[in-house]
Amino acid sequence: MSEQELETRLAFVRTFAQTSPYYKSMGMTLAEAGDGHAVLRVEIQAQHLNADGIVHGGVLPAIADGAMGNALRTIAGEGSQVFTAEVNLQYLRPVTGGTLLADGRVVKSGRRLSFAEVEIRDEASGKVHARATGVFVIEAGD
């Protein structure tokens, strides 16, 4: 892949993240994107909490899936669609606040299946709060 091609793909990923309504409603932004790699950032706010003040268990899979999906989009090219088939997430430490980074990476991308992983850590302390893996199917664009 030429640098030009990579840049076109990364531009696709950036636009995807900027125009996804879900990203906006969740407060997620794309912090970084490279070849087979994408990082999402989300600042924990009141809207992410449960009634007991702990971040809802659904917030971490959301940014995990987003980071893995975008990591795959950096290699899939414009117009492609990334479908999640399965995600497995381990919650290592509860989250109560701060800013989270979800660091997604392509593990293997094959003809039929693609595999990715992600680590979610606190931006300030670097502590890892969750890790996830996923199986994906990519439908090529035009």
In the complex, the residues that contact a second copy under the rule CB under 8 A are: 15-17, 19-26, 46-52, 54-59, 61-66, 69, 81, 83-94, 107-108, 112-113, 115, 117, 128, 131, 133, 135, 137
Return phi, psi of residue 67, to 5°.
-70, -40
Nearer to a second copy, 47 or 99 (CB): 47
CB of 51 to a second copy, least distance (A): 4
CB of 27 to a second copy, least distance (A): 9
Nearer to a second copy, 6 or 89 (CB): 89
**Helix/strand/coil (H, E, C) string of 7-51?**
HHHHHHHHHHHHHCHHHHHHCEEEEEEECCEEEEEEECCHHHECC
Q: Which of 32, 31, 36, 40 is nearest to 1 (CA)?
A: 36
CB of 36 to a second copy, least distance (A): 15
Q: Provide DSSP, 82-102.
A: EEEEEEEEEE-S---SSEEEE
CB of 77 to a second copy, least distance (A): 14
Nearer to a second copy, 46 or 124 (CB): 46
Nearer to a second copy, 90 or 99 (CB): 90
Residues in the chain: 142
